[in-house]
Amino acid sequence: MAETPYSRLEKLFRRLSALADAEAVLDWDQAAMMPRGGATARAGQVAELRAVRHGMISAPETGDLLDAAEEGDGLDAWQAANLHHMRRRWTHATALDETLVRALAEAESACETAWRTARPEADFAAVLPSLQAVLDLVREAAAAKAGTLGLDPYDALLDQYEPGARAEDIDPVFDELEDFLPGLLGEVLAAQAAGSAPTPPPGPFPADKQRALGMRLMEAFGFDFDHGRLDESLHPFCGGVPEDIRVTTRYDEDDFASGLMAILHETGHALYDRGLPRAWRGQPVGDAIGMAVHESQSLLIEMQVCRSRPFMDFAAPLIAGAFSGKGAEWEAGNLHRLAIRVRPGFIRVDADEVTYPAHVILRYRLEKAMIEGGMEAADLPGAWNQGMERALGITPPSDREGCLQDVHWYDGAWGYFPTYTLGAMTAAQLFQAADRADGAIGEGIARGDFAPLLAWLGENVHAKGSLLSSDQLIIAATGRPLDAGAFKAHLKRRYLD
């Protein structure tokens, strides 16, 4: 059969996907395995890969093929969606020249390497020059994309992670949550104070035992260790590719729940990646539609499922067994109360559901100000601490617990943060719809049978890939557009009823 413009594009994007997959594994290696001395070589490798990919997608021939394919007909719904996402990626890529692409890759690698030393030492000054260099280049890229896309610079960055999302739509939603959450937090804290506090199980909790427990629960959710692995890194993440998924966490031997919940959170990401449509591997339509839906899958598993009482009925014996624990503090009721204990804290990835949005909204407002030029990198520690005091009434004791805690800005991920709270809202709305559709889901969770839930998610979310937009997917799955209603109702039910 003769090649068509569309089939030639599929071949091109399959090659682009293979190169992106190689970079993803290199990124995991840098975070989890690479010796510090390899940083300069790795920066060069990543920069070269990005330059090659940029040259391939931005070549004049690619634009011509897109034009020709869009003028043709005979594409089915999946192919048409694929072509749409090809055009979108081409538009983002051609907004930048190769020199900027290389410079960004090198600056991000250097900054992330500096952050890995600066964070444990709470030394923001050590990473500041690298962060400012990244910020300057990200601003340049944002301005270039803004001109091409006809968007504000911050929206041009946001569009990379959540296609179609705009700050003017996010702001009122975050304003609504900021109006709602402080009152809820006060009620929850008062209710907790009026009752007896749960009892933390006695430690220490050796990291090897935490890892074994995490792997046992990952397997219960269906994680396939023939197609993935669990490692350690300074910041938990899920990387790699659908056939080779790399999950990482960090362990605290005084608090097993921190590392365990991070594992379960990242397992949600992994299940989504593995469930994406196999027939479209290597094509844009076969990828996740955006990071709000991606974060919804991790937060659905961690928050909606794994902090529920039915889950703890299943998991408590496994947790106790992992650490040879005996006594009331290891029982499901006590472990569940610990899992939903609300307490304003400094670290986002350890935050409870009630305070978590405050962490995200703070980061959203700060990164937006930095991209728009109202703040410089040097202003970040002071602005961060002031924001935490306003939002949660606490001030970080050092930058380690403050503006150094997340890797995102240091490795160039600007415009990502609002997807976390959009994801939490989406998770609540999806879980509500799933539970209504299949009454066996809750019963299954209580006995460690997650197949009913995963079947519903597989059909309604995972297998859709990028066939639909995020808005279309949520409406199709839940019957209505995304709003804060299900999330707010969930919080009231779990923490006040």
Distance CA 318, CA 164 (A): 43
Distance CA 140, CA 330 (A): 53
Helix (H, G, I), strand (E, B) or coil at 95: coil
Residue 104 lies in a domain: no
Number of domains comprising the chain: 1
Helix (H) or strand (E) holding 131: helix 124-149
Q: Tens of pLDDT along 7-60?
A: 999 999 999 999 999 999 999 999 999 998 999 999 999 999 999 999 999 999
Q: Around Cβ 13, how many Cβ atoms within 10 Å?
A: 24
Residue 85 lies in a domain: no
Residue 53 lies in a domain: no
Q: Tens of pLDDT along 55-64?
A: 999 999 999 9
Backbone φ and ψ for 352, nearest 5 degrees, come out as: -75, 170
Q: Tens of pLDDT along 452-464?
A: 999 999 999 999 9
Residue 103 lies in a domain: no
Give exposure, 256-266, as e/b (b: 16+ Cβ within 10 Å). Answer: bbbbbbbbbbb
72 pLDDT band, cuts 50/70/90, is confident
Distance CA 193, CA 212 (A): 35
**Mean pLDDT value across the chain:** 96
187 is catalytic: no
Under a CB-based contact definition with an 8 Å cutoff, are residues 73 and 26 in contact?
no
Three-class SS of 25-94: HHHHHHHHCCCHHHHHHHHHHHHHHHHHHHHHHHCHHHHHHHHHHHHCCCCCHHHHHHHHHHHHHHHHHH
R_g of the chain, CA atoms, integer Å = 22
In the predicted model, what is the mean pLDDT of residues 346-350?
Answer: 93
Distance CA 346, CA 20 (A): 34
In the predicted model, what is the mean pLDDT of residues 313-330?
Answer: 97
1 pLDDT band, cuts 50/70/90, is low
CATH number at residue 386: 1.10.1370.30
Residue 45 lies in a domain: no
Helix (H) or strand (E) holding 186: helix 167-194
Torsion of CA 97, 139, 413, 116, to 10 degrees: 100
Residue 460 tokens read as: 């309604």
Considering the candidates 266, 302, 353, 367, report the single residue annotated as catalytic. Answer: 266
* pLDDT of 273 strictly over 70: yes
In the predicted model, what is the mean pLDDT of residues 66-78?
Answer: 95
Q: Which one-letter DSSP state was computed for residue 124?
A: H
* pLDDT of 2 strictly over 90: no
Residue 20 lies in a domain: no
Three-class SS of 386-415: HHHHHHHCCCCCCCCCCCCCCCCHHHCCCC
358 pLDDT band, cuts 50/70/90, is very high
In the predicted model, what is the mean pLDDT of residues 266-280?
Answer: 98
Q: Which one-letter DSSP state was computed for residue 364?
A: H
Q: What is the pLDDT of residue 73?
A: 85
Residue 176 tokens read as: 């609504």
Could you give the percent of the chain with pLDDT greater than 70?
100
Ramachandran category for residue 373: left, alpha or beta (phi over 0 → left; psi -120 to 50 → alpha): left
Residue 65 lies in a domain: no
Closest CA to 133 of 161, 115, 167, 107: 107
Under a CB-based contact definition with an 8 Å cutoff, are residues 305 and 267 in contact?
no
The amino acid occupying position 348 is R
Give exposure, 185-215, as e/b (b: 16+ Cβ within 10 Å). Answer: beebeeebeeeeebeebeeebebebbbebbb
Per DSSP, what are the bridge partners of residue 245? 228, 240
Range of the domain at 298: 168-496
Residue 421 lies in a domain: yes
